[in-house]
Amino acid sequence: MMKIALLLALVQAALIPCAAWAQAYPSKPIRFIVPITPGGSNDVLARTIAQKLSEAWRQPVVVENKPGAGMNLGADMVAKSPADGYTWLLGANNIFVTNPHVGKMPFDVFKDFAPVSQVALVPFVLVVNPALPVKNVAELVEYAKKNPTAVYYGSSGNGSPQQLAAEMLNYTAGIKMQHVPYKGAVPAITDLLGGRIQVFIGAVNSLMPFVKEGKLRLIAGAGGQRFAAFPDLPAIAETVPGVALDVWLGVFMPAGVPRDIIAKVNADIAQLLQSPEVKANLGAQGIEPAPSTPEALAQTIRDDYARWGKVIREANIKAD
């Protein structure tokens, strides 16, 4: 009897450090890698999450901007970090579902990351320079068919979400708008305002100020359905079925992080994203909170990887 009691005591003692370690997380500062320069939607979202979790956990969640290589540089840092739950990535969908199709990757998107949660959607919209004589998607398609070499669209680079959405519209509608790649969205929008290109599909928060000033004409939403913030704005897919670009952002950790840590971070992020204050602040930036389970995010990656791979092959899109 004494031997059994001693054995049980030893087993229980062995389990205590694991349980205590899980309950203590986080016990030191967390690095939150954002693979773009400061100021964009991704950065705003990351800093909002970091601030709220720092307050709740009484441990710093420190945002670090690591741009480069089409967001792959920052993502690679996270993929190669220790699997202890103290290095995170705020990853945009292109890292996982388009970049692998257009260039050599320094990591495996399916094996080197642990999905934690989708956190937001960034609505993309279709706008045109007002000089282009079109007011809706049907008129744009008709005009492009009659003027096959006269319509130019811009993007933030080859393989970017802007190019993918426009090329999906091209081959689905049977038109051939000409692609002009830029080194980022800002110079593309500058040329759009100046009339050097006529069409752009981009993040709503970067375009709406110019729409409100009458410098750009808003044609349609690019998501799979109408946006809650713009219920009267038709989606491209209502005119050209199958054309949809849903730009999502998610939180990831290196593969191998303990499941209880992922579950805790997932639950706490979901809770803070439901806060009316957070919803209002992000909504003002054109960001829609959209938390998910780790499993749902993993499935989204698999589905989008297959769908956008087909678009990239059809349009023969290559990396810069």
Among residues of the chain, what percentage have pLDDT more than 90? 70
> Can you give the CATH number for the domain in which 153 is found?
3.40.190.10
Choice between 265 and 41, residue whose per-residue pLDDT is larger: 265
* C-beta atoms surrounding 279 within 10 Å: 14
pLDDT at 5 over 70: no
Whether residue 23 lies inside any domain: the answer is no
Picking from 213, 238, 263, the residue at the C-terminal end of a domain is 238
Whether residue 8 lies inside any domain: the answer is no
Residue 177 and residue 114 share a domain: no
Q: What is the pLDDT of residue 12?
A: 53
Q: What is the pLDDT of residue 127?
A: 98
Whether residue 3 lies inside any domain: the answer is no
pLDDT at 18 over 50: no
Residue 285 and residue 229 share a domain: no
Q: What is the pLDDT of residue 317?
A: 81
Residue 138 and residue 222 share a domain: yes
Q: What is the pLDDT of residue 8?
A: 45
Residue 87 and residue 157 share a domain: no
Residue 40 and residue 114 share a domain: yes
pLDDT at 228 over 80: no
Residues 72 and 127: their CA atoms lie apart, in Å, by 28
Residue 269 and residue 205 share a domain: no
Whether residue 133 lies inside any domain: the answer is yes
Predicted confidence band at 192 (pLDDT cuts at 50, 70, 90)?
very high
Whether residue 20 lies inside any domain: the answer is no
pLDDT at 254 over 70: yes
Distance of CA 222 to the CA centre of its chain: 14
Whether residue 38 lies inside any domain: the answer is yes
Residue 303 and residue 167 share a domain: no
216 CB-near residues (< 8 Å, 6+ apart): 127, 128, 129, 130, 192, 193, 207, 210
Mind listing the pLDDT tens digit for each residue in 84-99?
Answer: 999 999 999 999 999 9
Q: What is the pLDDT of residue 220?
A: 97
Q: What is the pLDDT of residue 23?
A: 62
Are 70 and 41 in contact by the 8 Å Cβ rule? The answer is no
Mind listing the pLDDT tens digit for each residue in 202-226?
Answer: 988 889 999 999 999 999 999 988 8
Q: What is the pLDDT of residue 136?
A: 97
Residue 21 vs residues 18, 24, 123, 201, 296: alpha-carbon distances, Å: 5, 5, 39, 47, 27
Residue 275 and residue 203 share a domain: no
Question: Which of these ranges, 181-185, 206-210, 276-280, 295-299, has the smallest mean pLDDT?
Answer: 181-185
Q: What is the pLDDT of residue 320?
A: 64
Predicted confidence band at 9 (pLDDT cuts at 50, 70, 90)?
very low
pLDDT at 17 over 60: no
Whether residue 277 lies inside any domain: the answer is yes
Whether residue 5 lies inside any domain: the answer is no
> Can you give the CATH number for the domain in which 93 is found?
3.40.190.150
Picking from 238, 261, 292, the residue at the C-terminal end of a domain is 238
Residue 283 and residue 197 share a domain: no
pLDDT at 1 over 70: no
Query: Can you list the alpha helix ranges (DSSP code H) found in the chain?
Result: 2-24, 41-57, 72-79, 93-97, 99-102, 137-146, 161-173, 185-194, 204-212, 259-273, 276-283, 294-315
What is the pLDDT averaged over residues 155-178? 91
Query: What domain range is 311 assigned to?
Result: 30-120+247-315
Mind listing the pLDDT tens digit for each residue in 47-88?
Answer: 999 999 999 999 999 999 998 888 899 999 999 999 999 999
Contacts 24+ apart (CB under 8 A), 184-191: 184/156, 184/157, 185/156, 188/154, 188/155, 188/156, 188/162, 189/154, 191/154
Picking from 206, 238, 270, the residue at the C-terminal end of a domain is 238
Residue 222 identity (one-letter amino acid): A
Please give the tally of structural domains in the chain. 2
Residue 263 and residue 277 share a domain: yes
Residue 116 and residue 253 share a domain: yes
Mind listing the pLDDT tens digit for each residue in 125-163?
Answer: 999 999 999 999 999 999 999 998 899 999 988 888 899
Among residues of the chain, what percentage have pLDDT more than 70? 92
Q: Is the pTM of this model over 0.85?
A: no
Residue 225 and residue 147 share a domain: yes
